[in-house]
Amino acid sequence: MEYVTAVPHPRSEADAPAGSGRRSLALALLFGALGSAVTLLSTRQRWSEGTATVAGGAFPLTARGSDVTGVPAALAIAALAALVAVFAVRRTGRFAVSALLALSGAGIMAAALLGASDGSSLDEQAARASGDTSATVASFSHTAWPYAAAAGGALILLAGLLALRYGRLWPAMSGRYERDGTPRPRRAAKPVDPDRPEDMWKALDRGEDPTGADPA
């Protein structure tokens, strides 16, 4: 008795790139959107706190992320725009937008990490509270929110790297929405029914002879 061993059909060569494109697209969208949301949320939270000496007493001071630096929020918005624009462009344009997405993530990370140790915003508050322009914050500490913003930037950076690596496999806007300047073919006019006066008037409006006679 002969035994027939079933041999699985080999996968098409196009299946692997297509699968990689779908997975990378889903991950890039997830990382980009989540990273932007985390960054924007983090900039609204308290990043640093300290005290200033006012009238011989300790006066508490706090600074939100947007008070420390506006760079992370601006780059998060730019990253969202780049994430959408990557589907509207192709080839060189897609590479440029993907690079912008990655650079936005790197910029957010750098600005957030630098902002974690920046006490200039608290120094300005201490000067206003004490009425002394040379006053500085007496004590300084930071929260975990700057590092949360940096994590959001890391996610955006990953989205940009995925776009740079696999963006050529991603779909683009349908070509039917693109105008190439080619004149569209004119649809053939419907035959005029001589028994329908409205058809004859429409033909006259189009500059046609409703009788169908050839010009002399």
Q: What CATH code is carried by the domain that includes residue 86?
A: 1.20.140
Confidence at residue 206, expressed as pLDDT on a 0 to 100 scale: 67
Query: From the CB of residue 110, how many other CB atoms can be counted at a distance below 10 Å?
Result: 15
Closest to 61 in 3D by CA, of 117, 132, 139, 134: 139
Strand-by-strand arrangement of the 57-64 sheet: 57-64, 46-54, 139-142
Within-domain flag for 98: yes
pLDDT of residue 25: 86
As for how many domains the chain has, the answer is 1
pLDDT at residue 121 in the model: 80
Residue 5 has phi, psi (to 5 degrees) of -90, 125
Q: Is 72 part of any domain?
A: yes
Q: Enter the pTM of the model.
A: 0.69
DSSP state of 25: H
9, part of any domain? no
User: β-strands 139-142, 57-64: how paired?
Assistant: unpaired
Query: What pLDDT is recorded for position 168?
Result: 85
Whether 215 is covered by a domain: the verdict is no
Q: Quote the CA–CA distance of 208 and 186 in Å, as a whole number.
A: 14
Looking at the domain assignment, is residue 76 inside a domain? yes
Residue 119 pLDDT: 76
The residue range of the domain holding 32 is: 18-175
Amino acid symbol at 129: A
25-34 residue pLDDT tens: 889 999 999 9
- Is residue 196 a part of any domain in this protein? no
Give pLDDT < 70 ranges for the chain.
Answer: 1-19, 55-57, 130-135, 173-216
pLDDT at 62: 83
What's the pLDDT at 159? 95
Tell me, yes or no, whether 118 lies in a domain.
yes
Residue 125 lies in a domain: yes
